[in-house]
Amino acid sequence: MKKLAILALGALALGVASAQSNVIKIASVSPLSGPQSGLGTAIQQGAQMAIEDAQARFQQLGFQLQFAPQDDQATPDVGVAVARRIVNDPDLLGIVGHLNSGVAIPASEIYKDTNLVMVSPANTNPRVTDRGYLSVNRICGRDDVQGPVGAEYAVKVLKRTRLFVIHDKTPYGQGLAEAFANRAKELGANVVALVGTEEASNFQPLILQMRAQRPDLVYYGGIYDKGGVLVKQMRERGITATFMGGDGLDASDLVKIAGSASKGVLFTTTAGPISTLPKAAAFAQRYKAKFGKDPEAYAVYAYDAANVILNALEAAIKANGGKKPTREQVARAVREVKLDGLTGRIEFDSKGDRKLSDYYIVGMKEAKYPGEVLRVIQFAPPAARQ
Amino acid sequence: MTFADLLAILPQTLLEGLLLGFVYAMVALGYTMVYGVLGLINFAHSEVFMIGAVIGLEVFRFWGNPEAPVISNPLLLLLVALVFAAAGSGTMAVLVERFAYRPLRKRGSKNILVPMITAIGVSFLLQDLTRIYAALRHNEFNMQYRTYDVLNTVFELPLQTSIQFKGIIVIAVSILMLIGLTYLVNRTKLGKAIRAVSQDMQTAALMGINPDTIISRTFLIGGSLGGVAGVLFGLLYTNVTPYSGVLPGLKAFTSAVLGGIGNIPGAMVGGLILGQLETLSGTFLPFLTNGNFGTEYKDVFAFLTLVLLLLFRPQGIFGQNVSEKV
């Protein structure tokens, strides 16, 4: 018992000591290993560039700015474990991440206890911000807009009437697919199926259902690692329906996996190809020089997300008389940020959604990433629902 | 969606189920042989299967490189891939037996949990080793089989069904392997020795059979079958990950139990039943339940069958009640 008390005291002393240190850490949390590491690494590297750019500025304010990349393996329980670990680091004042809504939702339940601010470049599930936590923000769009945008394009522009909707049973995939299906029904299309599957290699049962239903468009709510296999097997078995999905398909690995079957794939995304962001050209060049590859999907969004946190930090430091701000002060400052980022104007509403987000429709004319932007639509998030 | 539509895709569904069933059957043979001889459920067999798929993939990649193919005939290339995968997976199975199971056996522990936990541990080890290999070698997680036009040629059959050339290959290869195995076990000296060891290891040893050698060879044969099944699985479904073995392995194990574990024709029949069950339930469940149960429940059916079977006929379809080896 005595030992425990001494230990506790020691830990407390250590905590106090480091709380006064002049180190400020920003973490990125995304999958760095496993099948989705392609998207996750882009987030980590985008955030890293923003933090390295700001290090000199923070040096002048008297702070040493550090970057702490974390791996959530795209898995909820790993994400929660990482969250528990990083909230216990008092120097850590902001998080860029996560990639997956299914990971961000449980992890942010832990961040909110200490008001540790999270700015996500990629979480599109409505529930991420609909819970109304002070510490949770995102700079990308939402699935309840992304899904309907896709449905409008499929039904009104492409004139598809028999839609076969599949999702991967994650909060992201299911939310997106359901939003797509609902809007398509409102527009008068016939949704012949809305099915979930966790399968990764054998999609034959779904393909057999397509044979029976003869859809003219197949919509997949999920990530490229499975979507790519699905479309490849569909084409091999002679299903010619248009293949469409959400931003989970937005990765160069889609082409690696699906090969020639990726030709003609359509997806909506909240993160436009870097070529559509005129201000990001210099960023893209620096990124390529540093990491040896083009920035993909969420890299530039992660850069902006990190800059949102850095801006808020500077404001909070000033408001705090040059001293290190508390997590709550940083979280409040994030909601006040008005920033012209590489992805456009960034301002948050009271829930932490961006006031205006872009939604893109991208088509792969050839089996080559990135595809071609067919349409850009700007939308405000829907008002908070209870 | 009408009843006529359902009926129209039924023949194709049965055909797809048959293909999957043959793959399961080949993997199930590995489980059943090892169980027959050692009374051990070799959970690492699903990884031996997965490694076979990876070896086949590498053969396709090295010798079938589209820019400079060493072997330009896809069928010859497939044959080489099958041979290499059989050899590689067989060797892997022998190594697993030599270094993970034999030391435990020599120690004479009577606790059956110990080798089982070891099997699960080995299976994780092999998954992660493959993951390291895939990351270092190609920096990718989803490994893709190359598709060849010849192998993808579609043959139209009556009743609105069609089969790809690779489907025919899957059926042909698995039937050949099953006939070969049945012959080996029932008609050769090695087969006799395997049966003797599975009956009673001590007595077999007294008759001049070295049980270690026989067990090793059993693992070699089971592993090779698993390797061949891995290549065929990769060929059919094209996507292989370090975790590709887990679910098919569990289902193949279920097939082995379904047919009566330890029984070779049983494992085959079990695999075919499970393949049908999975494909049928996956395809028709959403229609029959009006969309309330989706394709995701297809695996539930496989394992529900296992549970029901263990409750009502634990010895399996072809199994006999062996309470004690006499």
Q: What is the mean pLDDT of residues B220-241?
A: 89
Is pLDDT at A165 greater than 90 in this prediction? yes
The separation between CA B70 and the C-alpha centre of its own chain, rounded to angstroms, equals 29
Contact B164 A236 (CB under 8 A): yes
CA distances for B282 relative to A195, A201, A209, angstroms: 10, 14, 9
Residue A328, classified by CB atoms within 10 Å of its CB into exposed (0-12), middle (13-18) or buried (19+), is: middle
The residue of chain A with its CA nearest to that of B153 is A236
Contact status of A190 with chain B (Cβ, < 8 Å): no
How far apart, in whole angstroms, are the C-alpha atoms of residue A108 and residue A356? 23
Q: What is the pLDDT of residue A2?
A: 56
Q: Hey, are the CB atoms on B298 and A205 less than 8 Å from each other?
A: yes
pLDDT (tens digit per residue) in A237-269: 888 999 999 988 888 888 888 888 888 899 998
Those residues of chain B whose CB sits closer than 8 Å to some CB in chain A are: 1, 5-6, 8-9, 12-13, 16, 20, 135, 140-142, 144, 147, 152, 154, 162, 164, 233, 236-241, 243-244, 278-279, 281-283, 286-287, 291, 294-296, 298
- Span of A30-44, A307-321, B56-70 with lowest mean pLDDT: B56-70
Please state which of the ranges A61-65, A158-162, B109-113 shows the lowest mean pLDDT: B109-113
pLDDT surpassing 70 at residue A383:
no
pLDDT of residue A386: 37
List the helix and strand counts (H, then E) for chain B.
Answer: 13, 4
Residue B320 confidence (pLDDT) above 70: no
Q: Is the pLDDT of residue B248 over 90?
A: no
- Tell me which residue has tokens 């129209």: B8
Residue A11: pLDDT band with limits 50, 70, 90: low
Q: Identify the residue whose tokens are 């408001």.
A: A319
Q: What crossing angle do the helices spanning B189-199 and B211-237 adopt, rounded to 10°?
A: 110
Mean pLDDT of chain B: 84
Residue B165, pLDDT > 70, answer: yes
pLDDT tops 90 at residue A95? yes
Higher pLDDT, B73 or A285: A285
- Cα A294 to its chain centre, rounded Å, is 18
Please say whether the dihedral angle defined by the alpha carbons of residues B200, B206, B207 and B210, taken in this order, is positive or negative: positive
Mean pLDDT score of chain A, rounded to an integer? Answer: 87
Contacts of B282 in chain A (CB under 8 A): 204-206
Summarize pLDDT for B34-46 with one digit per residue, the tens: 888 888 888 889 9
Distance from CA of B194 to the nearest CA of A (A): 35
Closest listed residue to residue B194, CA positions, set B185, B203, B202 = B185
- Which DSSP letter does residue A264 get? T
Percent of the residues in chain A that have a pLDDT greater than 70, as a whole number: 94
Q: Which of A349, A267, A360, A322 is nearest to A22 (CA)?
A: A322
> Could you write out the DSSP letters of every residue in B179-235?
HHHHHHHHHSHHHHHHHHHHH-HHHHHHTT--HHHHHHHHHHHHHHHHHHHHHHHHH
> Once rounded to an integer, what is the mean pLDDT over residues B182-209?
85
Q: Is the peptide bond before B45 cis (omega within 30 degrees of 0)?
A: no
> How far apart are alpha carbons B21 and B27 in whole angstroms?
10
* Token pair listed for A211: 């044979």
Closest partner residue to A205 (CB to CB) among B140, B233, B295 is B295
Task: Give the pLDDT confidence score for residue A305 in this predicted structure.
Answer: 93
Residue A172 burial (10 A CB sphere; 0-12, 13-18, 19+): buried
Separation CA B161–CA B149 (nearest Å): 19
Query: Between A10 and A29, where is the model more confident?
Result: A29
Of chain A residues 25-54, which have a CB less than 8 A from chain B?
A: 33-35, 37
- Span A168-178, pLDDT tens digits: 888 889 989 99
Euclidean distance between CA atoms B90 and A250, whole angstroms? 40
> What is the percentage of chain B residues whose pLDDT exceeds 90?
17
Cis before A370 (ω within 30): yes
Q: Identify whether the C-beta of residue A250 lies closer than 8 Å to the C-beta of residue A269.
A: yes
- What's the confidence (pLDDT) of residue A330? 92
How much is the pLDDT for A6? 58
Which of A222-236, A302-316, B186-200, B308-322 is the least confident region? B308-322
| Local confidence band at A12 (pLDDT 50, 70, 90 cut-offs) | low
Each residue's pLDDT tens digit, B279-295:
988 888 887 777 677 77
**Which of A35, A198, A233 has the CB atom closest to B296's CB atom?**
A198
Q: Is A236 on the interface with B (CB under 8 A)?
A: yes
| For residue B201, pLDDT beyond 60 | yes
> Is pLDDT of B323 > 80?
no
